[in-house]
Amino acid sequence: MKSILIGQRIKKLLKRNDVQIVDKQKGQVTLSSPHWRGAPAMELLVQRLRQERGIRNASFSSAAGVLTLQYDEALAKDYARLENWLQQLDQLSL
């Protein structure tokens, strides 16, 4: 039940920040938002994500507003951690 509630909050955060899931594969997700195009604050978030345990790679295209994360598959069920990252996006006020 807790994972369902957290999943719903994550969906709300994605919607509020106009973030689309472009592609999802095992251990990789690609996200896009028009608000990220040319946004220097996103570079700060990408740097933070690269330091996170379990993130294998984080790449960002400022021109396209696309973020790609490669991660350990175990992170896919760590809803609290996913929500934390999305809240960081929310706090960037993009």
Instruction: Say how far apart CA 72 and CA 81 lie, in whole Å.
Output: 13
- Per the CB < 8 A criterion, the answer to whether 67 and 32 are in contact is yes
Considering the four listed CATH numbers 3.40.50.2300, 3.10.129.10, 3.30.1360.10, 3.40.50.720, the one that applies to the domain covering 2-91 is 3.30.1360.10
pLDDT (tens digit, 9 = 90+) per residue, 20-32? 999 989 999 999 9
pLDDT, position 67: 94
pTM of this prediction?
A: 0.80
pLDDT (tens digit, 9 = 90+) per residue, 32-84? 999 899 988 888 889 988 998 889 999 999 999 999 999 998 877 787 777 77
